[in-house]
Structure 1
Amino acid sequence: MKLERLISMIYMLLNNEVLSASALAEKYGVSQRTIYRDIDAICAAGIPVVSYQGVHGGYGIMEEYKMDKSLLGSYDVGSLITILHSMSTVFDDERALDTINRLQTVRSGPAASSLSMDLGSRQHSNELLRLLRTAITGRRIIEFEYINMKNERAARVIEPIQLNYKHGNWYVYGFCQTRMDYREFRTSRMADLTLMNRVYTHDHAVNNRDPGPDWTKSANQEEVVLHFSADALARAMDHFYDMDKSFHDDGTLTITLKVPNSSDAKWLLPVLLSFGETVEVKEPLELRKALKTKLEKILKTYSEV
């Protein structure tokens, strides 16, 4: 613990002009007498710590000793700090904060970054992510209930390997003991996560991950044409940002996308239903029929209202 505190204190001193003994003592939860001993130990290691007297006095490191800030460009350092800061917020990671302090020592230019990033989610989701990361770093087997795309609930036991953030969602990748194969699970569909007392010993390679079929490159694709009213432009752009778009003089929008089989595109129906009356399926006819059938079932549910 003392060694970690000393290393962290060195980077704090490198990153600040002057730090008082009281401020250091408060940060590390020790007495000022302990800080004095730590400063002596740092000096004994050959790091030139300078003592400044007066009201605003404290400790600092000689400017000549500090790292050359030209080693990394300010853009590179700023981007790394932004990413690490977001990670430290999600995972409550002290090591990431220590790395930020180190990077601050070689940062040049303005402190404000041109990049901002928020990897976090709702608080309970962040707690789930922290549990998953604890399981991964500790190589602990986890058990949870999972709901798949077919809305089937099943208990899963996996050896977690990696957390992945993509398309605005978090996934955990690991070896599923239930299916005896590598699987990827969306964290939002996980419930009742339990960290088992068992530790797995297999050395899993991350590149074992099966990326799955890429339906955007599959043969026999079918064209879907959607027409959105002017009230739905923003949401339509959010959902279908990389699809072909045509804006019209009346403020409406037509979006064209391709899917392997529109009548079996179950993922598309809930998205279209969420737009309500602000979207109309122009093509194909099979998708129009599938959406109509779904709407009729919804109306039947509320027939007594």
Structure 2
Amino acid sequence: MRLDRLFSITMMLLNRKRISATDLAARFEVSLRTIYRDMETINRAGIPVVSFSGSDGGYEIMQSYRLDRQYLSLEDLYSIYSALRGMQSATGDTGMAELLDRIGALISDKLHDLDTSGMLLDFAPASGSKGHLRTLHLAIKELRLVELDYMDIHGAETQRMVEPMGLYLKSNAWYLWGYCRVRFALRVFRLSRMNRVRVMSETFSRRGLSIEDIDADRARSGTPPCIRVRLRFQAAVKTRVRDEFLPDQLMSGPDGTILADACYYSKESAIQHLMSFGTNATLLAPSELVDDFRKQIAEIAKIYS
């Protein structure tokens, strides 16, 4: 608790001109003697706190201190608060809720000075994945193995035993990355493809790996990191194209079409994505994938012949 209090006091000093020991004692429900000791601790930590006596006395950070008093401004704190609130709504992390309460207490009396309508962040996944997200978040914190009933891109269902390393949000979809004990390699799992998630009682020691190691692991196993393709889209789907591709992947054509250089981790995912655009998309390269695409179209045509 003392560390939390010291952090909160420092934040308050950074964002207020001056605050009295009495106000601090009342805010944190401790004695004045405790506040005096806390101020000595903050000073010893290298943050120069100056005390002033009199009716308008109190504590403030020395004006000449190299850390700008607005290093964490009201806008900064509200941005942090909004991001944490979005994450807390997605994960249900009670520890994050306590942190939100502490930051909220710092800004609650100043919100009238701030336009809070500019950005609202909602990281919550689709309703079917929300329970998975909270379960996996807890398993990561507690270093517990998880057993997944997982459906791959081909629709095949497999059972995986995974050491969960982390969660990330990309293109409105949540993913788990971790070490798969079935494949003996780092793998990425999309939450919407998980039919069942079971947290095991067995714990594990976290490996010295990061998410950047996934591509390196694929290369070592002989799996190409991705299939690079070139696509041409008609102007009718330009809004969707801009939603689904990065700006540096796109180039406007002279006839109003859009060229895209994209990367897919399997030819099946590339073909499925391309087919979803219908006649508004053309696969230009590589030639091997163009041939596979023609065969796929021919197989579909047989169904309706």
- Give me the TM-score of the superposition, normalised by structure 1: 0.65
1:78 aligns with 2:78: yes
Aligned to 1:245: 251
Unaligned stretches of 5+ residues in structure 2: 13-25, 36-55, 62-68
Which secondary structure does the structure 1 equivalent of 2:215 belong to? coil
Q: Against the structure 1 CA distance between its residues 275 and 66, is the aligned structure 2 distance closer, same or farther, given a 3 Å change threshold?
A: farther
Unaligned stretches of 5+ residues in structure 1: 15-38, 49-62
Matches within 5 A, 1:255-274: 255-257=259-261, 265-274=267-276
Aligned to 1:138: 142
Aligned to 1:42: 29
8 Å contact kept, 1:246–1:253: yes
| Number of residue pairs the alignment of both structures matches | 250
Q: Against the structure 1 CA distance between its residues 269 and 183, is the aligned structure 2 distance closer, same or farther, given a 3 Å change threshold?
A: closer
What one-letter code is carried by the residue in structure 1 that aligns with 2:202? V
Q: Against the structure 1 CA distance between its residues 102 and 155, is the aligned structure 2 distance closer, same or farther, given a 3 Å change threshold?
A: same
1:210 aligns with 2:190: no
1:148 aligns with 2:135: no
8 Å contact kept, 1:135–1:160: yes
Match of 1:166 among 158, 166, 170: 170
Q: Against the structure 1 CA distance between its residues 139 and 224, is the aligned structure 2 distance closer, same or farther, given a 3 Å change threshold?
A: closer
Q: How far off its partner does 1:66 sit?
A: 9.4
Provide, for residues 209-235 of structure 1, a one-character-per-residue CA deviation record: whole Å limited to 9, x for no partner: 6231599xx99x976241x23321111
Match of 1:234 among 239, 260, 264: 239
Q: Against the structure 1 CA distance between its residues 105 and 65, is the aligned structure 2 distance closer, same or farther, given a 3 Å change threshold?
A: farther
CA distance in 2, matches of 1:259, 1:298: 25
Aligned to 1:200: 203
CA distance in 2, matches of 1:285, 1:181: 31
Aligned to 1:293: 295
Which secondary structure does the structure 2 equivalent of 1:268 belong to? helix
1:120 aligns with 2:124: yes
Q: Against the structure 1 CA distance between its residues 175 and 111, is the aligned structure 2 distance closer, same or farther, given a 3 Å change threshold?
A: same
CA distance in 1, matches of 2:242, 2:28: 59
8 Å contact kept, 2:165–2:206: no
CA distance in 2, matches of 1:94, 1:66: 32
CA distance in 2, matches of 1:103, 1:40: 13
Which secondary structure does the structure 2 equivalent of 1:267 belong to? helix
8 Å contact kept, 1:246–1:255: yes
Mean CA deviation greater in 182-191 or 199-208: 199-208
Which secondary structure does the structure 2 equivalent of 1:266 belong to? helix
8 Å contact kept, 1:82–1:113: no
CA distance in 2, matches of 1:224, 1:41: 60
8 Å contact kept, 1:146–1:154: yes
8 Å contact kept, 1:78–1:113: no
Q: Against the structure 1 CA distance between its residues 223 and 185, is the aligned structure 2 distance closer, same or farther, given a 3 Å change threshold?
A: closer
Q: Against the structure 1 CA distance between its residues 259 and 70, is the aligned structure 2 distance closer, same or farther, given a 3 Å change threshold?
A: closer
8 Å contact kept, 1:156–1:176: yes
CA distance in 2, matches of 1:222, 1:195: 37
What one-letter code is carried by the residue in structure 2 that aligns with 1:42? E
Q: How far off its partner does 1:200 sit?
A: 1.1
Q: Against the structure 1 CA distance between its residues 150 and 40, is the aligned structure 2 distance closer, same or farther, given a 3 Å change threshold?
A: closer
8 Å contact kept, 2:88–2:96: yes
Q: In percent, how many aligned pairs have the same letter? A: 22
Q: Against the structure 1 CA distance between its residues 208 and 297, is the aligned structure 2 distance closer, same or farther, given a 3 Å change threshold?
A: closer
